[in-house]
Structure 1
Amino acid sequence: MELGGAVTIFLAICLSCLVLISAWKKMHKGGKLPPGPTPLPFLGNLLQVKTDEPFKSFMAVSIGRVALANGERWRQLRRFSLTTLRNFGMGKRSIEERIQEEAQYLLEEFRKTRGLPFDPIFFLSRTVSNVISSVVFGSRFDYEDKTFLSLLRMINESFIEMSTPWAQLYDMYSCIMQYLPGRHNRIYRLIEDLKAFIAERVKINQESLDPNAPRDFIDCFLIQMEKEKKNPNSEFNMKNLVLTTLNLFFAGTETVSSTLRFGFLFLMRYPEVEEKVHQEIDHVIGNHRIPASEDRMKMPYTDAVIHEIQRMTDIVPMGVPHTVIRDTQFRGYTLPKGTDVLPLLGSVLRDAKYFSNPEDFNPGHFLDENGRFKKNDAFVPFSSGKRVCLGEAMARMELFLYFTTILQSFSLKSLVAPKDIDITPKMSGFGNIPPTYELCLVPR
């Protein structure tokens, strides 16, 4: 038999097996599943998903939101991470001082641009990353550190790769895709390189660890590992240390810096909004002191603008996937154990029931008739419930302090007319990736 014929027969047998397995799983899931398009064997609903706009595709078949915790590992590590971050100053004066310090370093770098056009991507990622670095690694990086710059490029590329159609296919068909060549393997290599860096930092910490004086998140985790080394059910091990640290470092770098990059675009697109923010900064803070988190309460318009930027930006539109850990009843339907659920945060952030003109950039969505800031239950960029982002407090403080510090000293100048500024994401998948652009900063 010729090689081509043998391969064809082999593929036919594999496909038949997959069809049978898919049919068997469907028959044995049990319960009443939510309505939706009939899935094909093996392919599922892939043909109904636009790989370049998955959020819109999922919105077309969604019936609501579910976000459930999945397992003891998540509970142990989340509880520990929250406690440790608080101990290192989340929401307290110490973390505010770290952000203020980094914001001043950023201003120095901005002044070096001398009003000439530049791409803000690594200016913003360096400063934001140093805030979380001071917590997880115990120190900041020099802005010209080559290792640091390499890490930031890998994080940025990883965030982009996670949003490509290839990555989505890999997520759905990892059992097959992991053996096939293609772009989807790049994300694996990037993550492995990042994990290798974290592992090296852990090794350095181990060699100089003082259990009575933890310096950073890694030290605290190592101390907890030692405490629970005789517990067979403990989730405090080297693998989870590397992964948890990477998650904090990655999320603490890319989400806030991407929001700032989008924010610059919105402010240049709507210069009248930027001007009102300038006026509020001048009135409340002036130019003789640096902004502080306590200023937020006296700056409702600026607060509303930041909220509206986050709402429109919708950095992670589909939320983080979760797995149902038991058969779950939801609106008269049954979600079988093991079902993957996407919360679709973007569906809430653009819900016309909560925002009068959801597709328009309007800080008034967060202001009452008297110009006071008003909360909105549909504002969920950090998710909600048990799965709310554990870095929410830090991120909110960063966004306020960075925006006010930058706009206290500079005006934003676009290279094109405001009406021609494109605020469409460069890519939309796992994340909404800001478009690449240049701007000028004019000293005030």
Structure 2
Amino acid sequence: MDIQRFVNRRNRFFDQMADGVAIFTSWPVQRRNADQDQAYRPDSDLYFLTGFEEQESAAILIKDGEFRRFVLFVRPRDPEQEQWVGFRAGVDGAVKDFAADQAYPIDEFESRLPDFLDKKANLYYEFGRHPEMDTKIFGAIEELKSGIRAGQFGPWTVTDPRTILWRMRQIKDDYDVKDLQKAADATAAGFLAAMKAVLPGMSERELASVVEFEFKRNGSQRVGFETICAAGNNGTILHYISNDAVIGPNDLVLLDAGAEVDMISADITRTFPASGKFTPIQKRVYEWVLKAQLAAIEAVKPGATYDEVSRAALEVLVDGLIDLGALEGTRDEIIETGAYRKYYMHRIGHWLGSDVHDVGVYHVNGKSITLEPGMVITIEPGLYFMDQPDTPEPLRAIGIRIEDDVLVVPGGRKILTSVVPKTVAEVEAFMADAGSWWRNLAPISVEK
């Protein structure tokens, strides 16, 4: 790990915060059942500023003019516990390996907190996410204010640090882009495997397991979100995660998944025929969705707005709905009335980064945000025709979404996930040797 990147981030945060204290805490550990905890995933903001991944930890940043200090509270070393569940950095490691100016055991956080808050006018803290920690911090502040006659006081102003962090996280630096490309490459490996592995009669869950297996062996520590592997009518359910149906011979498979690598997540969606060949009506719908995606991608560039990118896709999708016989009227009428929402009910995409639905605003004071170099956005239009009586019969049980991860660069855009086939010709050619992934499976981490 290059710890300097986290030092740089803290310096940027220090530059933008007022004199005072900023506190960031880890997520509470969640119990799964009788004596097992849920798999732990570090808090994105805490990790972004520190690189520290262990549970039961907290960071305090202190600024007073030119004085700046970074303090970590961590679990102390415990040989017996480490024998059972793994290595801890400990207090010494927090200083040596994570560049903390000071470090203390996490059990001392509450007792030392008043010293860090005393006579500090400003506090940066995300209230409402960690109730137990909220109580400790509020308690310390009120206790200090009760000593006002003795010259003590706690912060008078509380600011959400996300007013600074969201902007920092939204504009990716070279480190971020490199990590995001690694996540995109691992995700792409999963999709390429799935397209080579799918066979009619498989379960959705088995195909999803192929995807996640490839994620792991290509460097992913975990998935960025629950994998969506939806066959047939299930593909019309936007966030279908049951993955418990059988893939039929004439089904389309809508696969939406993302590998997380080093706390950065990618996000790809592809829709492909289980048989390896689109039916004529599947092909018609697919090509309208693809045309919409390409129009939106072309609209991504510095100076364009999020709404302009969204509108570029929407106009094509509405033209497609008219052509397919799903809606009647003119493009403008259908957009004005919102009639298209029956078949396209989500936005064009979302920011991508430390979280799969990454932080950052889309509108400010009612106006769409302007795209800037360093932003990463998913472009994922879709059409969803549920198998129900009021859906035109030829379109029933067809759900199609196509998604890529797009980096805004000077003069235009860069598609980070372009290696995964998406034109009809590319998809069918790539899937021509059905089931070949199973025949060619071999370790990739063993040197030949």
TM-score between the two structures when normalised by the length of structure 2: 0.23
RCO greater where, 1 or 2, for CA within 8 Å and sep 6 or more?
A: 1
More strand by share: 2
More helix by share: 1
TM-score between the two structures when normalised by the length of structure 1: 0.23
Larger radius of gyration: 2
